[in-house]
Amino acid sequence: MEKVVHIYRTAEEADEADRQYYASLSPEQRVAIMLELLDYRTLFNNGAPDRLERVLTVSKLELR
Protein backbone atom coordinates (compact mmCIF):
# COMPACT_ATOMS: atom_id res chain seq x y z
CA MET A 1 0.00 0.00 0.00
CA GLU A 2 1.37 3.40 -0.97
CA LYS A 3 1.52 5.89 1.90
CA VAL A 4 0.53 9.46 1.04
CA VAL A 5 0.34 12.54 3.27
CA HIS A 6 -2.34 15.20 2.75
CA ILE A 7 -2.68 18.46 4.68
CA TYR A 8 -6.15 19.92 5.31
CA ARG A 9 -7.23 23.22 6.80
CA THR A 10 -10.14 21.83 8.85
CA ALA A 11 -11.13 18.55 10.48
CA GLU A 12 -14.32 18.54 8.42
CA GLU A 13 -12.31 18.79 5.20
CA ALA A 14 -10.12 15.87 6.32
CA ASP A 15 -13.18 13.78 7.29
CA GLU A 16 -14.76 14.38 3.88
CA ALA A 17 -11.54 13.36 2.12
CA ASP A 18 -11.47 10.16 4.22
CA ARG A 19 -15.08 9.37 3.29
CA GLN A 20 -14.35 9.89 -0.41
CA TYR A 21 -11.21 7.76 -0.25
CA TYR A 22 -12.88 4.78 1.45
CA ALA A 23 -15.92 5.07 -0.85
CA SER A 24 -13.58 4.77 -3.84
CA LEU A 25 -12.10 1.46 -2.62
CA SER A 26 -13.39 -1.92 -3.72
CA PRO A 27 -14.87 -4.23 -1.06
CA GLU A 28 -11.76 -6.43 -1.35
CA GLN A 29 -9.50 -3.45 -0.63
CA ARG A 30 -11.58 -2.49 2.42
CA VAL A 31 -11.38 -6.02 3.81
CA ALA A 32 -7.60 -6.06 3.23
CA ILE A 33 -7.26 -2.82 5.23
CA MET A 34 -9.41 -4.22 8.04
CA LEU A 35 -7.34 -7.40 8.23
CA GLU A 36 -4.12 -5.38 8.30
CA LEU A 37 -5.47 -3.31 11.21
CA LEU A 38 -6.43 -6.50 13.07
CA ASP A 39 -2.87 -7.80 12.58
CA TYR A 40 -1.46 -4.57 14.05
CA ARG A 41 -3.79 -4.83 17.05
CA THR A 42 -2.60 -8.37 17.77
CA LEU A 43 1.04 -7.35 17.29
CA PHE A 44 0.79 -4.50 19.81
CA ASN A 45 -1.16 -6.68 22.26
CA ASN A 46 1.92 -8.88 22.88
CA GLY A 47 0.70 -11.33 20.26
CA ALA A 48 -2.45 -12.21 22.18
CA PRO A 49 -5.82 -11.71 20.48
CA ASP A 50 -8.43 -9.61 22.27
CA ARG A 51 -11.22 -11.52 23.91
CA LEU A 52 -14.60 -10.49 25.19
CA GLU A 53 -14.94 -10.30 28.94
CA ARG A 54 -17.45 -12.71 30.43
CA VAL A 55 -20.12 -10.89 32.37
CA LEU A 56 -22.80 -12.47 34.54
CA THR A 57 -25.56 -10.40 36.08
CA VAL A 58 -28.09 -11.85 38.51
CA SER A 59 -31.25 -9.89 39.11
CA LYS A 60 -33.83 -10.66 41.77
CA LEU A 61 -37.41 -10.22 40.62
CA GLU A 62 -40.23 -9.19 42.87
CA LEU A 63 -43.17 -11.58 43.10
CA ARG A 64 -46.53 -10.00 42.36
DSSP secondary structure letter of residue 25: S
49 touches 42 (CB < 8 A):
yes
Task: Quote the pLDDT of residue 61.
Answer: 83
Task: Quote the pLDDT of residue 25.
Answer: 95
DSSP secondary structure letter of residue 44: T
Q: What is the dihedral of CA 8, 10, 13, 16, to 10 degrees?
A: 110
27 touches 35 (CB < 8 A):
no
28-56 pLDDT per residue, tens: 999 999 988 888 877 776 766 666 677 78
